[in-house]
Amino acid sequence: MTQQQIDSYVLTQKDVPGDKISTMAGRTTDGTEIPVTLSTGNLPRISPKGCQHVYENAQHGSAYRQYALADDLLSGRHNVEVALIAYRPADAPKVLADLQAALPQCTAYAGPVDMTEGFEHPQVLPDPHLGDQAVEYRIVEKVDDQEGTLRAPFHFLVVRKGSVIAWFMAQGFPGKAAVLPMDVINAQLAKLP
């Protein structure tokens, strides 16, 4: 799967009326190329080691080489980040298998930079039965600073269709659940081959 093919599958304003689409990586609707700024193949190691795949997924990465990436942020009617990631056909199922295996074993981890940020309480949700394979879970981001500790909920859904991973992430406010919009998910999955 090429970058051009991945870019052709991204959501457009026609697919999600009422939302503004901001391209984080890939090609915008006017043809501007936004390069990937973070190589997910070089993500730092975190502790405990058993949480590495959970951390990588939060960065829409994995232990496997990505061949193409499109990453968009939707705002307005919805607030959700959507990424499409192309892998080798043999590697794409491993991305989800690694995440599925890591989630039950990972209770919390600290961020790799200064340990003031981390994630805790991952909660695996029932299989959503989407695509060829899917993993859905909630997790809480924990940030410590001079004023105390802030906890913000996140909701992730990772769906594989063939060799493409559709990655969805919503962030909630402290005390409010993060919710992924099914209409956005269904619109994106319908565009994939």
Give the residue extent of every domain in the chain.
3-191
pLDDT of residue 64: 86
Please tell me the pTM assigned to this model.
0.88
pLDDT of residue 70: 87
Q: How far apart are CA 93 and CA 18, in angstroms?
A: 34
CATH topology of domain 3-191: Protein Transport Mog1p; Chain A (3.40.1000)
The tokens describing 172, both together, are 């909630």
Among 38-52, 60-74, 122-136, 167-181, the least confident range: 38-52
Q: Phi, psi at residue 42, to the nearest 5°?
A: -115, 30
**What is the pLDDT averaged over residues 167-192?**
94
Residue 67: pLDDT band (50, 70, 90) is confident
Query: What does DSSP assign to residue 30?
Result: T
